[in-house]
Amino acid sequence: MTDEITGRDALVRFLERLLAIPGMTVYAPVAEGDGAVFDRISSVSEALLDFPGAVRSPRHILTPMTEKLLSMGPDGRVEEAIPTPGPAVLFGVRPCDARAIAFLDRVYAGGDRTDPYYRARRDALTIVSLGCREPRPTCFCTTTGGGPLSPEGSDILLEPSGKGWSVRAVSEKGRALADATGIAVESDGGNPDAGSIGAEMTPRVDIAVLKKVLDESFDDPRWQTLTAKCLGCGACSFICPSCHCFDIVDGEEDGVTVRSRIWDTCQFKAFTKQASGHDPRPTGADRFRHRMMHKFSYCIDSYGMPGCVGCGRCVEACPVNLDIRRLMEAFGGDGLE
């Protein structure tokens, strides 16, 4: 059974039904400056539904920039601050960001290791993504294994269909949410035009080839020349939906010791500085090489997929136009026809 929700008004109705579910928290894109960020909304009028992408990724919904982990009082008693969130919907993420969440699932809750803080938020969250009709010039999701209509990571995928959207339940969670809103869903899914959207994206690099070349290129002198202009500002990491480095800091609040984790980035000088004073990645080129190696080699080894979903945010954010796609081409060649 298919329910084609037509145009913006239908998205509004869908959001209204989500907001009407008792106890439901809804996150959606809201305007900030010239762009959009994902934030909690209490009415549909706050949501920004016509936007090409989101300036900030929704990563902070699952891994807050600063997160209290535990506290310890004067008596030495330790209390963990594992969250107990109610049900929530993340509405309107693009398929690349949903895929980034599927990646974060592998990092924080894959295999035999589970981060209870992440798990608690993730279990409570249902993801409703909005397929892309027209990728931005900086998008390259198809290079990294995704696509403008990729369902990976989504619970419900709203696929462009004519002037509207067809609703595709990707998971049981998505089906349950669709039932709760009374929205009918496709039983088989799949937009027949999916293959043509984004077919022109670049770089046309084979990720397996890129990984192999990177694994053999640790000492390649091109790292110095290609990345010399990097300022080490970290913008590329903080705007990335799949970066996940953090630091642990201890502080004090009203006589109570509080341990928190905060976002960090391997692009910062001293990120790897050791107590002895030795820093194994002393230059910007060393740090950018690590960024590339981590995303396109180590993550594939550890998690079975690259740590980049091709959202293009870092391409737009870098103040010196250091474009990760050019590095991919330099080391991966033009391996696809």
User: By rule CB under 6 A, what count of residues binds ligand SF4?
Assistant: 26
Give the shortest CB-5-to-ligand SF4 separation in angstroms.
Answer: 28
Determine, following the binding rule CB under 6 A, whether residue 147 of this chain makes contact with ligand SF4: no
Round to whole Å and give the CA distance between 191 and 80.
45
Of 20, 122, 13, the residue nearest 63 (C-alpha): 122
Take residue 299 and report the two structure tokens written for it: 């993550």
Pick between residue 183 and residue 308 the one whose CB is nearest to ligand SF4: 308
Q: How far is the CB of 91 from ligand SF4 (least distance, A)?
A: 21
CA distance 129 to 152: 10
Q: Tell me which residues in 262-301 interact with ligand SF4 (CB under 6 A).
A: 267, 295
CA 245 to CA 263: how far, in whole Å? 6
**Smallest distance, ligand SF4 to C-beta of residue 235, A:** 4
* Distance in Å, CB of 210 to ligand SF4, minimum: 13
Side-chain half-sphere of 140: how many Cα atoms within 13 Å?
23
The residues facing 128 across adjacent strands are: 91, 156
Q: Does 121 bind ligand SF4 (CB under 6 A)?
A: no
One symbol per residue from 318 to 337: x for binding ligand SF4 (CB under 6 A), - otherwise; what is it?
xxx-x-x-------------
The smaller minimum CB distance to ligand SF4, of residues 84 and 321, is found at 321
Residues 176-235 that bind ligand SF4 (CB under 6 A): 230-235
236: contact with ligand SF4 by CB under 6 A: yes
Q: Please report, in angstroms and rounded to a whole number, the separation of the first and last CA atoms in the chain.
A: 38
d(CA 282, CA 211): 24
Tell me the closest approach of the beta carbon of residue 188 to ligand SF4, in angstroms.
30
- The answer to whether the CB of 207 falls within 8 A of the CB of 295 is no
Which residues of this chain interact with ligand SF4, rule CB under 6 A?
230-236, 239-242, 267, 295, 308-314, 317-320, 322, 324
